[in-house]
Copies of this chain bind each other. A is one copy, B any other.
Amino acid sequence: MTVLILTCEEDVTADMVVVHLDATGVPVVRLDPADLTDGVALSGEYVHGRFRGHLSAGGRLVGISGLRSIWVRRPGTPAARAAAPSEWLTEESGQALYGMLRGSDARWMNHPDAARRARHKPWQLRLAQRCSLPVPATIVTTFPQAAREFAERYPDLVVKPVSGAHPQDPPRAVPTSRVAPDADFAAVAFGPTLLQRRVAKRADIRLTVVGETMLAARKAAGPDDEVDVRFARSASSWQPVDVPPRVATAVGEYLRAAELAYGAFDFAEDGDGTWWFLECNQSGQFGFIEVETGQPIARSIAAWLARPGPEDRSSANGAGSAVN
């Protein structure tokens, strides 16, 4: 049974995982959907109630029923590097590739549907609440008056995008910023705005979850005005830290409900030691954490991907139950 990795060529994080997979002797096929149909080929037959499918990449052929797991890392746009690329070819190639893979019994990290849903910040906040994770008071609104009233109740606010990265080319992360006390909220009417009570934090927490393995890292906060750790120059570094049992239970519940096998949680730790949920990125980077902390994230991913596939397993085991 083979591990299939969908990612671009220049993905050094995937390289880290492949090293571990190679060490265990598990067969790996790595391909970029962008290389359809030049370098990557596919074929699937539906005859007499049965399906037989194959993928070919780099001269290697693998049967779709022979896949034990599929890692959706950083796949390119289907057929983007074809000799004559077009929207139509991309659509046809994407439907053919993912349509066949969706019919396989392999475990996904992460399934495309779960990944897509997990990107919705308002949905994340609601799910975190339902799993009893502390969520800072938040409003998403196009009503200036609602924003004003919220700012009266919670005078110390940050503003951040609802969706994440700005879709320019290349995409640009939009930093979380503090809201000035005299802010004018009239412009809220022109676009949904996310305002959140600022957590007076003493540390940032990154909790990386791979299946049932939880690896948390902590970074002491810098000066008081530093809000978004991604844009901060901090003297402190990421250090491994234990996951409080209550958080571990809630996070496990979150990932099961979200049907995610991998998630990178960001928390803000306040003066009382409470971890406040900020977000869960289903495709969050982990290389920088692994390098600073020495935590075995890549090895954990390799171990998850290398687990016995559907044909090897005695009892059926779907993607959802894999995070139990």
Which residues of chain A have a CB within 8 Å of any CB of chain B? 36-37, 41-51, 79, 82-84, 87-89, 91-100, 102-103, 113, 116-117, 119-127, 129, 132, 135, 137-143, 146, 150, 161-163, 166-167, 189-192, 194
Contact = CB atoms under 8 A, between A and B. Distances in A.
A192 B162 contact: no
Given A92-B191, A190-B82, A100 B140 contact: yes
Contact of A46 (B82, B125, B191): B125
Which 4 A-B residue pairings sit nearest by Cβ, starting from the closest?
A99-B122, A99-B120, A103-B126, A96-B192
A140 B36 CA distance: 14
A122 to B, nearest CB: 3
15 contacts: A37-B142, A37-B189, A37-B192, A41-B143, A44-B141, A46-B137, A49-B135, A79-B191, A93-B192, A95-B122, A96-B194, A97-B192, A99-B123, A102-B122, A103-B122
A116 B119 contact: no
A92 B161 contact: yes
Contacts of A166: 88
Given A37-B190, A45-B146, A87-B167, 9 more contacts: A36-B192, A44-B140, A46-B126, A51-B125, A82-B190, A88-B167, A96-B194, A100-B123, A103-B126
A91 B167 contact: yes
A132 B50 CA distance: 10
A116 B94 CA distance: 13
Contacts of A141: 42-44
* Identical copies of this chain, number: 2
Nearest to A128: B46
A237 B113 CA distance: 39
Given A47-B137, A95-B163, A103-B126, A36 B142 contact: yes
A137 B44 CA distance: 11
Nearest to A166: B88
Nearest to A146: B43
B126 A95 contact: no
B91 A44 contact: no
A83 B191 CA distance: 11
A133 to B, nearest CB: 9
Nearest to A79: B191
